[in-house]
Structure formats: C-alpha cells, structure tokens
Amino acid sequence: VLRRDAYDTELVTQAALSLSPLFTQLLDRTEPAPYQEEGPGDYSKVTEAAFDGVWINYGANTLLLFSEAGCRVVDPALDWYGEAAYAFRVRDRGSIGYCPALEIDFRESGNFDAPLTYYVSGIDSTHFWCSTGAESFQKLA
C-alpha cells in the first residue's frame, strides 16, 4: 500500500476529475440486472474492511470505490463523479433488531449528519445486498 505523509489537495482533486470519464464509461458498459431477493446474511461480516474495493449497482447505475482514503461515489443521477473520498462507517443496529447501516458522510459533517445510507442485509466476496432498498452491489475489484 502506498502511503504519503502529505499530499497536494488540488492535485488529488484534478486527478479524480480526470478519472471521472473512466468511471462513467464503466457504468455505460454495464447491463442492468433485475434485483434478486435475498434473505439476511451474517451481520457480523458487515465491516468497514469488507467493503474495500470497487462495487457496482447495475440497476441504479452507481459505483462505490472504497479504500483507506474513504469512499468515492459515482452516481450520475446525483451528479457525483467520484471527485472526493468521503468518510464512511458501518453502524451496528443489532441491538434494535435491524441490519447494519453503511453510512457515507458525503456532507463531510464529521458526525455523519444525514449521510448517504445503505442498509446492508449481507455481504460476501462477490456482492452485498440491501433488502430494504431492493439493491445489490457486485464487487468488481
């Protein structure tokens, strides 16, 4: 893993913008697939580390890119093209009988006020699914 003690914010932003066409081309080349209903998985497997990589929701035309730097969201319908890496977390809601919540702090509030949220019913090495939203993300890398 490459690590740097410091980086040029403007340079990173410009690099992300130059990658935006690559992300949207990837979305354009995918075939929408109908959501397949799945039951709850093992909630203990839904961790921040489990999301590392690139995930695509073919039905919603959304791409999520998770790394140590955060989560980049590519969603042309929301006019997001992965320019920024946002903090994310998995919030355990087991004490109230609910599945974990994957929260992405796209407002950069620092306290996850009104985050982009996916209620994750399960995750494995190939995909994660959200039964409440009838969504599934396939792992690309």
Cβ atoms 141, 53 nearer than 8 A: yes
**How large is the average pLDDT for residues 114-140?**
93
Question: Looking at residue 8, what is its pLDDT?
Answer: 61
Question: Looking at residue 1, what is its pLDDT?
Answer: 42
**How large is the average pLDDT for residues 55-82?**
91
Percentage above 90 pLDDT, the chain: 60
- Non-local CB neighbours of 25 within 8 Å, separated by 6+ positions: none
| Phi, psi (rounded to 5 degrees) for 66 | -105, 135
Question: Looking at residue 44, what is its pLDDT?
Answer: 96
Residue 71 amino acid letter: C
Mean pLDDT across the chain, nearest whole number?
A: 84
Select from 34, 28, 24, 119 the least CA-distant residue to 73: 24
**Pairwise CA distance, residues 132 & 118, whole Å:** 9
**How large is the average pLDDT for residues 21-28?**
59
Cβ atoms 86, 108 nearer than 8 A: yes
- Which pLDDT band holds residue 59 (cuts at 50, 70, 90)? confident
SS3 per-residue string spanning the chain = CCCCCCCCHHHHHHHHHHHHHHHHHHHHCCCCCCCCCCCCCCHHHCCCHHHCEEEEECCCCEEEEEECCEEEEEEHHHCEECCCCECEEEECCHHHCCCCEEEECCCCCCCCCCCEEEECCEECCCEEEEHHHCEEEEECC
Question: Looking at residue 78, what is its pLDDT?
Answer: 87
pTM: 0.76
* Greater pLDDT, 107 or 4: 107
Q: Is the pLDDT of residue 120 over 50?
A: yes
**How large is the average pLDDT for residues 34-48?**
86
Residue 138 amino acid letter: Q
**Which tens digit of pLDDT belongs to each residue from 103-112?**
999 999 999 9
